[in-house]
Amino acid sequence: MTFRFQTFAAGAFLSLAMGLSLPSLADGFYANETLQRQAPDAFALQPEAHDFLVSAYALTIKDGDRLLGLIAEDKALTNAIQQWPEMTIEQQIPWLKKVFALEVRSFGTKAPQLIIDNHSYANKMVYFDFDIEAGGNGIVYLNPDKLAEEEAYASLAFLIHETRHSYQFQQALNANASDSDSEIVAISAGYLAAFKAQKQLKGFGFSDFLTLLNEFEAFQYGNYVIGQLTDWQIDMNNMGTFASQFDNQGQLKIDLNTLSANVDELSLLAQYNELAKEQFELRQRQQ
């Protein structure tokens, strides 16, 4: 059985899920070169992010597999995930907390604060709250009333996605430029650039916001985990761009690493925008 997330217009989805205001979405669906050049090291579609793309995917899969292994060891949790679509959001919440604990454990980082209520960030469906100056581990927020209106796996997918942001944030702030592992340095620097751009830039469109390196990678991570848990039977059209989504064979719908090898004639951003027409048209049909 294939479970499909209820589709939002681009603006409504970002406004509810990420806490952006609708005026910030005026640039629409496609990636905007002018906006992204304001912080080119923060976006997956810019050449300055090449080292991040080369290094990050293997880490994403490795970390996803580590979480999947921990979940597989917990038979009660495994059974609960199999029954997820039949559960109410109230029944899901204890299991969401269990997945949260396992995910943090899999990262080996400090736990962010987890808030699951309908009022702390009342206008948001899900959110990761962070302060670059103050540091810390951030806050992962889920609004159960809003999530209850979505298809069942949305709650699990967003919990995994938002918790990944805490890992990214801690990596970004704790990075050491003298680290001998150049791949970790590149990934951490990309995370930090993305978190800064998220706070500083205005005018994000759908593809701009979701190709920020932190969003791009967190959606890829979460979609990989959900895909493996459900044998790739979940159509996750709202969970990031196609560059962060997998098809029913477990392959990326848009593989930026492959495209980045063919930038002589068209930039990575231009190639992405061409291939993203499929997602745009799908979202238009589902509105």
- pLDDT at position 19 is 46
Average the pLDDT over 265-281 and give the result: 95
Do residues 153 and 175 touch, judged by C-beta distance below 8 A? Answer: no
pLDDT digits (tens, 9 = 90+) for 88-137: 999 999 999 999 999 999 999 999 999 999 999 989 999 999 999 999 99
Q: Is 273 helix (H, G, I), strand (E, B) or coil?
A: helix
Beta bridge mates, 3: 234
Q: Residue 8 pLDDT > 50, yes or no?
A: no
> How is residue 122 written in tokens?
């009342």
Q: Residue 13 pLDDT > 90, yes or no?
A: no
d(CA 269, CA 225): 26
DSSP letter string, 73-134: H-HHHHHHHHTGGGS-HHHHHHHHHHHHHHHHHHHTSPPPEEEE-SSTTTT-SEEEE--TTT
Specify the pairing of strand 234-235 against strand 126-129.
Answer: unpaired
The DSSP symbol for 214 reads H
As a whole-number percent, the residues of the chain with pLDDT over 90 amount to 80
d(CA 164, CA 206): 20
Average the pLDDT over 174-180 and give the result: 69
What mean pLDDT is reported for the chain?
Answer: 90
Total domain count, the chain: 1
The DSSP symbol for 217 reads H
Beta bridge mates, 234: 3
d(CA 145, CA 232): 27
DSSP letter string, 36-72: HTTSGGGBTTSGGGHHHHHHHHHHHHHHHHHHHHHHH
d(CA 138, CA 132): 9
Question: What residue numbers bound the domain in which 271 lies?
Answer: 3-286
> How is residue 178 written in tokens?
């003298």
pLDDT digits (tens, 9 = 90+) for 14-71: 544 544 433 333 349 999 999 999 999 999 999 999 999 999 999 999 999 999 999 9
Average the pLDDT over 272-284 and give the result: 93
Per-residue pLDDT band for 210 (boundaries 50, 70, 90) equals very high
Element (H, E) at 4: strand 3-4
Decide which of 152 and 83 is more confident: 83
Do residues 62 and 106 touch, judged by C-beta distance below 8 A? Answer: no
Which pTM does this prediction carry? 0.90
Q: Residue 1 pLDDT > 60, yes or no?
A: no
Neighbours of 250 (CB within 10 A): 11
